[in-house]
């Protein structure tokens, strides 16, 4: 499946896939991102300043005094031909502990009520599913997750909260996400993880990367507390 | 190590450099100086690398005290800097200026432009976070504790040796001194109407035919809801014929987005790396420094150009910068290294 390659302004290129099969696109995005990221400093003629994977696209930024759109597009085409011999390794599976205790889950009752489910049933279904990180965005390290069971999909809150605590696990439409920093937010908050999703001081600042698989593991309030004390 | 003390903080002054482009994939905005041309010019005038951190002042500047003798350069918007601890001397812009220990300089309200840049030889040496010293206020990181300057702050200045071979001997006995020459600065907005050249966005044809014409012909007010993340523009709302939702995709500094309310947003340095609104145009790289110098209350017009012209204008701008710096090196008064190595991810 060949994506389209089009300019995004004078110093970026957007590579877009269209297909009915979500998993197919997700794999293509992950593979090409890996290949483009691997064009390292030793290969400076084909180096991009940024490679940004999203749901069905990758945006590549380049330095305008170093290359033109045509040159960037050629490098991307070379990258695409290399993805074919790339063995797709299994994505990393990362477990995220989540406390669904009421203090951390102001919208859990509401979400349960809307879908005529018991709280515990929402937690069970939410934790049984396996999610895939489609992109990082909104705020540094915020993962957009696909894989939410359809019966838990909940439209965003009509008025966003001004402050959502860091680590809040939330549902927004058909997606799930984790607030990596304290920011405003309009998704339904159903739990909280004690893990840090974004630590600017680390060489690899994000816990999750596009392409990773995620599972949520329920934890008690005591465990949450202990975890936080240890950090 | 020298120190610059903030006697009285301006409206919004932050430490900036060329940002963190490589971290966009983690959801981190590139950030860095809004007007990269003036930022780099200031750095080059004092012998710094383009990656050194400068101060970016917005609309109304700070009063600063230089605790040690140093070499500075001021570029970008015209903030009429004057000395305040001696006879009120005007400090000229776009040239290197020696200041003696204890000199106080007050940057006033911008007469023209919106942002001015102050470089000191050695650069402001706050810690690097994710490869950059730039302040990202939205995530409270970088710069000085991730925030704008406050009165009483003390800004560390880097070691001159690490800054490159740009600095001449600082004259201890003179309060301030500077050469007669100056380099050609960025052309600041001449009036309240500023034309920015754009390339069409992927979704421009999703606007109604009438809106496509209006985008080309009308002027757009830069509203007060404008900051380092982006400028919210006001005009008769532009109409999207295709209002279907889209998945978030990459954006860039200079992207003009059209949200469903029909009021375009011009994305600037601190904008998020991705967005879910339609992209109707992209301001070309060569005009982004000018875009950084317009202010709320002024108007923008968009003029369509071609990819080829966008690239040649950018290269011409780079050549002007290089030429200015070469000239500076030949002039008496300051010594600039032959040809400074380029930072990663920037121009050759």
Q: Verify whether the Cβ–Cβ distance B282 to A201 is below 8 Å.
A: no
Q: Are residues A138 and A47 in the same domain?
A: no
Residue B27 near residue A141, CB atoms below 8 Å: yes
Chain A CA closest to residue B346:
A63
The domains found in chain B, sorted by start residue, are 2-184+321-330 (no CATH), 193-305 (2.40.100.10)
Residues 6+ apart with CB under 8 A from B335: B47, B165, B166, B167, B168, B329
> Do A137 and B274 make contact, defined as CB atoms within 8 angstroms?
yes
User: Which token pair is B260?
Assistant: 């469903």
Residue A123 to residue A219: CA distance in whole angstroms: 11
Please choose, from the candidates B345, B343, B338, the residue with its C-alpha nearest in 3D space to the C-alpha of residue B322.
Answer: B338
- Give the gap in angstroms from C-alpha B86 to the nearest C-alpha of chain A: 43
B346 pLDDT tier (thresholds 50, 70, 90)? very low
Q: What is the pLDDT of residue A40?
A: 58
Same domain, A97 and A172: yes
B253 vs chain A: nearest CA distance in angstroms?
9
Tell me the pLDDT tens digit for each residue of B125-176. 999 999 999 999 999 999 999 999 999 999 999 977 544 444 444 455 567 7
Same domain, A163 and A211: yes
Cβ contact (<8 Å) for B129 and A200?
A: yes
Report, as an integer, the average pLDDT of B314-329.
Answer: 81
Alpha-carbon distance of B153 to B7, in angstroms, equals 8
Distance from CA of B202 to the nearest CA of A (A): 8
Is the CB of A200 less than 8 angstroms away from the CB of B139? yes
Interface contact flag, A9 B255, Cβ < 8 Å: yes
Domain assignment present for residue A24? The answer is yes
Predicted local distance difference test score (pLDDT) of residue B191: 93
**Nearest CB to A181 within list B139, B310, B346:** B139
Question: CA B232, CA B257: separation in Å to the nearest integer?
Answer: 10
| Residue A99 shares a structural domain with residue A138 | yes
pLDDT at B334: 46
- Per-residue pLDDT band for B340 (boundaries 50, 70, 90) equals very low
My answer on whether A107 and A209 are in the same domain is yes
Chain B nearest-CA residue for A144: B248
Same domain, A129 and A225: yes
Of B244 and A111, more confident: A111
Of the candidates A14, A139, A181, the beta carbon closest to that of B249 is on A14
What is the domain count for chain A? 2
Selected residues 23-52 of chain B with any CB under 8 Å from a CB in chain A: 23-28, 30
- The pLDDT value given to residue B183: 81
A50/B283 CB distance under 8 A: no
Q: How do the residues of chain A divide into helix, strand and coil, expressed in percent and rounded to 5?
A: 30, 30, 40
- Please give the average per-residue pLDDT across B66-82, as a whole number: 94
Contact A184, A163 (CB under 8 A): yes
Helix boundaries (H) for chain B: 36-45, 209-217, 288-292, 307-330
Chain B residue closest in CA terms to A58: B250
> Looking at the domain assignment, is residue A88 inside a domain?
no
Average pLDDT, chain B: 89
- Residue B339: pLDDT band by 50, 70, 90 thresholds? very low
Task: Specify whether the CB–CB gap between B299 and B219 falls below 8 A.
Answer: yes
The residues, any chain, with a CB within 8 Å of residue B345's CB and separated by 6 or more, are A49, A63, B18, B21, B22
Torsion B71-B77-B79-B80 (CA) sign:
positive
Angle between helices B307-330 and B36-45 (to 10 degrees): 20
Cβ–Cβ contact B67 with A under 8 A: no
Residue A43 pLDDT exceeds 70: no
Full domain range(s) for residue A188? 93-230
What's the pLDDT band for B347 if we cut at 50, 70, 90? very low
**Which of the pair, B171 or A117, is modelled with greater confidence?**
A117
A45 within a domain of the structure (yes/no): yes
Q: CB-based contact (8 Å) between B139 and chain A?
A: yes
For the ranges A24-28, B6-10, B72-76, B288-292, the lowest mean pLDDT is seen at A24-28
Provide the pLDDT for residue A90. 74
Give the per-residue pLDDT at A84: 73
Question: Given pLDDT bands bounded at 50, 70 and 90, which one contains residue A20?
Answer: low
pLDDT of residue B296: 97
Residue B341 pLDDT: 39
Give the number of other CB atoms < 10 A from CB of residue A1.
Answer: 10
**Alpha carbon separation from A120 to A46, A113, A156, A178, A191 (Å, rounded):** 52, 12, 21, 20, 12
**Domain boundary residue, one of A62, A83, A104:** A83
Candidates B138, B346, B77, B143; CA nearest to A11 is B346
How confident is residue B336, by pLDDT bands cut at 50, 70 and 90? very low
Pairing assessment for the beta strands B193-200 and B299-304 based on DSSP bridges: parallel
The per-residue pLDDT for range A142-168, each reduced to its tens digit, is 999 999 999 999 988 878 898 999 999
- Radius of gyration of chain A, Cα coordinates, nearest whole angstrom: 19
CA distance B310 to chain A (A): 7
**Is residue A51 domain-shared with residue A163, that is, in the same domain?**
no
What is the band of A44 on the pLDDT scale with cuts at 50, 70, 90? low
- Chain center to CA of B169: 29
- Pull the structure tokens for residue B325: 């710096």
Choose one of A83, A108, A127: the last residue of a domain.
A83
Q: Following CA atoms A159, A165, A169, A171 in sequence, which dihedral angle do they give, to the nearest 10 degrees?
A: 10
Q: What value does the CA radius of gyration of chain B take, rounded to a whole number of Å?
A: 20
Query: Are A119 and A200 part of one and the same domain?
Result: yes
Q: Is residue A180 part of a domain?
A: yes
Q: What is the pLDDT of residue A83?
A: 82
A78 lies in a domain?
yes
**Residue A70: is its pLDDT beyond 60?**
yes
Cβ(B144)–Cβ(B6) below 8 Å: no
The C-alpha of B28 sits at a distance from chain A's nearest C-alpha, in angstroms, of 5
CA–centroid distance for B259 within its chain: 26
Does residue A161 form part of some domain?
Answer: yes
d(CA A190, CA A152): 11
Percentage of chain B surpassing pLDDT 90? Answer: 72
Please give the pLDDT value at position B238. Answer: 96
Interatomic CA distance for residues A115 and A207, integer angstroms = 31
- ipTM for the predicted complex: 0.90
| pLDDT higher than 60, residue B342 | no
Provide the 8-state DSSP code for A194.
-
Give the residue from A83, A108, A131 where a domain finishes: A83
SS in 3 state form for A143-184?
A: EEEECCCHHHCECCCCCCEEEECCCEEEEEECEEEECCCCEE
Q: What is the pLDDT of residue B166?
A: 43
Whether residue A37 has pLDDT greater than 70: yes
CB A139 within 8 A of CB A200: no
Measured CA to CA, the distance from residue A134 to residue A147 in angstroms comes to: 10
Q: CA B290, CA B189: separation in Å to the nearest integer?
A: 7
**Residue with token string 């430490």:** B15
Region B82-94: what's the mean pLDDT? Answer: 92
A113 located within any domain: yes
Is residue A120 located within the same domain as residue A47? Answer: no
Minimum mean pLDDT among A67-71, B208-212, B259-263, B326-330: which range? B326-330
> The CATH number of the domain where A225 resides is what?
2.40.100.10
Separation between Cα atoms, residue B20 and residue B227, nearest integer Å: 19
**A146 located within any domain:** yes
**Half-sphere CA count of B256, side-chain side, radius 13 A:** 30
Q: Do residues A78 and A105 both lie within one domain?
A: no
Domain CATH for A59 = 3.30.1360.40
Which pLDDT score, from 0 to 100, does residue B337 have? Answer: 37
Q: Is the pLDDT of residue B345 over 50?
A: no
Mean pLDDT of B112-126: 96
Q: Are A78 and A132 contained in the same domain?
A: no
Domain shared by A203 and A165, yes or no: yes
């Amino acid at each position: 499946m060949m994506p389209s390659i089009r300019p995004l302004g004078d110093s970026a290129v957007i590579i877009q896939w269209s297909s009915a099969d979500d998993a197919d696109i997700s794999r293509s995005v992950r593979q090409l991102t890996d290949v483009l990221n691997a064009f390292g400093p030793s290969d400076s003629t084909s180096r991009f300043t940024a490679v940004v994977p999203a749901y069905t696209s990758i945006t590549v930024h380049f330095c305008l005094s170093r290359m033109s759109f045509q040159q960037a597009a050629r490098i991307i085409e070379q990258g695409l031909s290399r993805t074919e011999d790339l063995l797709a390794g299994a994505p990393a599976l990362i477990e995220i502990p989540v406390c669904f205790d009421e203090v951390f889950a102001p919208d859990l009752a509401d979400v349960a009520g809307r879908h005529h489910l018991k709280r515990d049933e929402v937690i069970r279904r939410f934790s049984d599913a396996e999610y895939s990180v489609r992109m990082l965005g909104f705020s540094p390290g915020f993962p957009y997750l696909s894989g939410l069971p359809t019966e838990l999909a909940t439209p965003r809150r009509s008025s966003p909260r001004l402050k959502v605590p860091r680590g809040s696990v939330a549902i927004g439409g058909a997606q799930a996400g984790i607030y990596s920093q304290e920011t405003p937010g309009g998704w339904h908050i159903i739990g909280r993880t004690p893990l840090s999703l974004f630590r600017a001081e680390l060489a690899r600042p994000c816990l999750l990367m596009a392409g990773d698989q995620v599972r949520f593991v329920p934890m008690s309030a005591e465990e949450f507390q202990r975890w936080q004390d240890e950090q | 190590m020298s120190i610059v003390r903030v006697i009285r903080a301006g409206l919004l002054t932050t430490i900036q450099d060329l940002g963190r482009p490589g971290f966009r994939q983690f959801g981190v905005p590139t950030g860095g100086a809004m007007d990269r041309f003036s930022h780099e010019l200031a750095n080059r005038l004092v012998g710094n690398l383009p990656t050194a951190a400068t101060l970016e002042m917005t609309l109304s500047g700070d009063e600063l005290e230089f605790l040690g003798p140093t070499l500075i350069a001021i570029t970008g918007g015209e903030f009429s800097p004057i000395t305040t601890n001696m006879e009120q001397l005007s400090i000229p812009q776009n040239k290197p200026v020696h200041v003696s220990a204890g000199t106080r300089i007050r940057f006033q309200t911008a007469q023209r432009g919106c942002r001015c840049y102050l470089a000191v030889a050695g650069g402001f040496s706050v810690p690097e976070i994710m490869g950059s010293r730039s302040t990202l206020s939205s995530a409270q990181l970088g710069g000085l504790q991730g925030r704008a300057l406050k009165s009483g702050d003390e800004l560390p200045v880097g070691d001159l040796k690490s800054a490159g071979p740009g600095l001449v001997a600082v004259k201890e006995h003179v309060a301030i001194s500077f050469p007669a020459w100056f380099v050609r600065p960025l052309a600041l907005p001449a009036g309240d109407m500023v034309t920015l050249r754009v390339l069409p966005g992927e979704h421009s044809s999703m606007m109604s035919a009438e809106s496509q014409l209006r985008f080309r012909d009308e002027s757009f007010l830069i509203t007060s809801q404008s900051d380092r993340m982006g400028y919210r523009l006001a005009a008769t709302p532009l109409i999207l014929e295709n209002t279907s939702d889209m998945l978030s995709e990459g954006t860039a500094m200079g992207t003009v987005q059209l949200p469903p309310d029909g009021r375009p947003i011009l994305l600037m340095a601190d904008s998020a790396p991705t967005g879910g609104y339609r992209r109707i145009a992209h301001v070309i790289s060569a005009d982004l420094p000018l875009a950084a110098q317009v202010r709320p209350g002024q108007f923008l017009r968009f003029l369509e150009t071609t990819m080829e012209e966008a690239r040649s204008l950018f290269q011409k701008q780079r050549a002007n910068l290089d030429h200015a710096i070469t000239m500076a090196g030949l002039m008496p008064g300051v010594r600039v290294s032959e040809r400074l190595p380029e930072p990663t991810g920037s121009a050759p």
